[in-house]
Structure 1
């Protein structure tokens, strides 16, 4: 968009403005590579058709590949009610996960209605059909479960540039459910809430706090698919522990996830030179079914605010074995 002030046509204290609008290209392609200690090397690719037709319909496709977890999602988007704030989308996706304790292949198809209110406050309602083939330990047989899952989500994000830092907050509250009497093999109700806040100080410091809470009411926990179980541990959870290594264990000692999730993190970051800073942190949490046994992780880190995003390098130790040093590396968004 270009604005031009037409000074020669001014009358009294008023002058017209000439507005020149230009459409974005119809087709948009994206590609990326990355690495973190949770999932290893990652490759991503995306495609977006912004103008499928004169009604403002769009098509979006995203592919993310890694050795441990990959997914491919397609979405058809229509403007709805207020085209600037509301949209209706139909989506389908495939997710594959193969970690130490999880082996899962999931297909989902559904529809989502999203309404944006004040600022970035978004209310989303969706209905999706899920088919998941999984096992939660190497000693367990594979299961296949079918679910018809209605859900609702509320999310918000507010960010403000503060030099090399990005301050603000973001949160999301989800509620999902399924019942055996309605095209599902499992009955459950699940809610999850996550929050992250980051605020800078006038002396070049930054305080970051986050929490992730979840609870599930389910008739038979062993029938609950992997994607609806709670786990903790990893770069963005409890550092000092491996990715999804915290959770309820079975008789063989394998982590099988939990019905409940409680994690929290507090971090202080201090700028040292230019785009570099150092950090100290403590994380805590557990994923459990009956009794919570909080795990703690603490450590030090280095941050580099590169042109492609913050690079985080952390060294953390777990409370269960302070001699077991864990290294965490990630390239992520600023907030």
Structure 2
């Protein structure tokens, strides 16, 4: 008991002593230009000893000597190699150490010498020459720029990443030197990059596949044996695998220590469930609120195809669709079969349509191709029972052969800021009414972004034509109408078409749509945010004769959020011919 009491007393005395306020040994004052003062105040070793209460004069004198060296080393990291540093000790109620700094002239880069070793130095391949030019031209610490340690390290890191990004995953820095002349406040920089050997991809080795066809991974990855190593293509392959619906995750690794003539491509995947159901809720100003249920079966029995079936309940455009898709072949082509039934209500006409399609498609890194044969049927009703003919409304059926080509040359396929995209649709077929008539359908689309000093311009254009005899009863699904959130803002969904008796709007055989939009970043505190302001002019026309095309114009403004999943935009637009304002909301980027 006595021992316990003694221990308790010792703990109480220790706690009381600890609770007593510590008397600081000295105050620290730094006198230097703003950014340098903050650097020294945060990083000087003297800060660690301010609150040590039992420092004697000899120890403080030793700290002053060490602080002079410490301050000079910190200033050197910012490019000041000949500063005047003085540290004075001032007496008073408490000792005060004053660090006075005159940084002098900041060192600037006098010259840069970037050299290469390995395959990149001797190769005459235009790709290797371009890579060398990219590294030299993109050097981030050029002549005349202030020299500091952090920018020097960053410039070397960027140059190394550019070397490793393509052809040379085993590349490294073999030599680097920053030769600083304090007397002239200048630095001569030297860097030598050793690329090592050119790497070509070897066989794809896959782990993690159990329930799906083993051929699926290499065909989705599209990293052919013998191709030159390209980090961007490997990243895109990972994205394709993870976004294919077959896998929850994918990781691809090429060992830089492996055989450069045939480096194995190790792919590790985690499979997604065989089946899944997705429930969705949404809203758009074109269609109003909607709910959907989608079922996916990733490997149907016997045939091994994927089946995706979706039911969407929406006031304007409910539909039921199922699409069955084969795994890609060695060249990336896939067979598909689609069946779809839908109802389209534009507040005037109600179109019931059915579609059955079979064909093949190929999705590439930049170019998509699609070829298919399609049967479709459209029945158009009007609630007011106005006398309209099938030629007016697009009631009819047809069988067609179609070819679609889309090229995307944007800097970013999710949130583009420059580049362009082109789409072409060619189709031809035969109407299946009492009188069978041939017809041909062509649609051309273009979307481009042009960077400006403040923001960018987005230009959009679309033109379509259906060529046939005047009495051909072509289904409404093959004809054109426009207007709405993603076409001509300021007008209702599909509000631009061919005027019909009773105030109805019917589909037409010719279409033109144009749009010019100025997208400017919204700044906060002088910095760009993820929000943009838009000003736009849209125009569109639909007619049965080219000479009858009369553009309907919408002008407006909006705010766009560059969200992680794509652009989300809200806009208000005035329809010049409609003489009314409309709100529009849209999400995502699709071309």
Q: TM-score, normalised by structure 2?
A: 0.50
Distance in 1 between the 2:260 and 2:397 partners? 67
Please tell me whether the aligned partners of residues 304 and 310 of structure 1 are also in contact (alpha carbons under 8 angstroms): yes
Instruction: Flag the 1:301–1:70 CA change in 2: closer, same or farther, 3 A.
Output: same
Aligned to 1:75: 323
Structure 1 residues 165, 75: CA separation in 2 closer, same or farther (over 3 Å shift)?
Answer: closer
**Pair 32,167 (structure 1): closer, same or farther in 2 beyond 3 Å:** farther
Larger Rg, first or second structure (1 or 2): 2
Aligned counterparts of 2:431 and 2:258: Cα–Cα separation in 1? 72
1:21 and 2:302 aligned: no
1:306, 1:178 → 2: CA distance?
A: 42
Alignment match, 2:468? 218
Alignment of 1:212-251 (within 5 A): 212-220=462-470, 223-251=473-501
Native 8 Å contact 1:178 1:184 kept in 2: no
Residue matched to 1:112: 359
Output the CA distance in 1 between the equivalents of 2:259 and 2:265: 18
Alignment CA distance shift 1:17-1:3 (3 Å): farther
Q: 1:180 to 1:67 in 2, by over 3 A?
A: closer
| 1:59 aligns to 2:310 (yes or no) | no
- Residue number in structure 2 paired with 1:264: 514
Structure with the higher fraction of residues in helix conformation: 2
Equivalent-residue separation in structure 1 for 2:511 and 2:456 (angstroms): 27
> What is the rounded CA distance, in whole Å, between the counterparts of 2:483 and 2:307 in structure 1?
35
Which stretch of the first structure deviates more once superposed, 252-261 or 308-317?
Answer: 308-317
In the alignment, structure 1 segments of 5+ residues that lack a partner are: none
d(CA) in 2 for partners of 1:11, 1:171: 41
How far 1:58 sits from its partner (Å)? Answer: 1.8
Aligned equivalents of 1:253, 1:12: Cα separation in 2: 73
The CA RMSD measured in Å over matched residues stands at 3.3
Aligned-partner Cα distance in 2 for 1:188–1:206: 40
Cross-structure match for 1:313: 570
Question: 1:330 maps to what in 2?
Answer: 586
Give the Å deviation of 1:275: 1.6
Distance (Å, rounded) in 2 between the aligned partners of 1:128 and 1:52? 23
Q: Deviations over 1:35-54 (max 9, x none)?
A: 22111122333333333368
Q: Is 2:300–2:307's contact at 8 Å kept on the other side of the alignment?
A: yes
Tell me the residue number matched to 1:47: 295
1:298 to 546, 552, 555: 555
Counterpart in 1 of 2:400?
149
Q: Could you tell me how far 1:168 is from its partner in structure 2?
A: 3.8
Residues 171 and 193, structure 1, Cα contact 8 Å, conserved in 2: yes
Q: 1:275 aligns with which of 530, 542, 548?
A: 530
Higher strand share: 1
Separation (CA, whole Å) in 2 of partners of 1:228 and 1:17: 49
In structure 2, the gaps of 5 or more residues are 1-249, 524-528
Q: Distance in 1 between matches of 2:473 and 2:514?
A: 28
Kindly indicate whether structure 1 or structure 2 has the higher relative contact order, using CA contacts under 8 Å at least 6 residues apart.
1
CA contact (8 A) 1:267 1:281 kept: yes
Report the Cα offset of residue 86 of structure 1: 0.5
Distance 2:540 2:345 in 1: 23
How does the TM-score come out when normalised to structure 1? 0.84
Give the stretch that moved more between structures: 216-225 or 171-180: 216-225
Residue 37 in structure 1 maps to residue 294 in structure 2: no
**CA–CA distance in 2 between the matches of 1:189 and 1:74?**
27
CA distance in 2 between partners of 1:185 and 1:155 (Å): 31
2: CA distance, partners of 1:174 / 1:20: 36
Distance 1:6 1:102, change over 3 A: same
Mapped to 2, the partners of 1:32 and 1:166 lie a distance apart of: 30
Secondary structure of 1:252's partner? Answer: helix
What's the secondary structure of 2:477's corresponding residue? Answer: helix
Distance in 2, matches of 1:167 and 1:22, equals 33
SS in 2 for 1:277: strand
When the two structures are aligned, how many residues end up with a matched partner?
A: 329
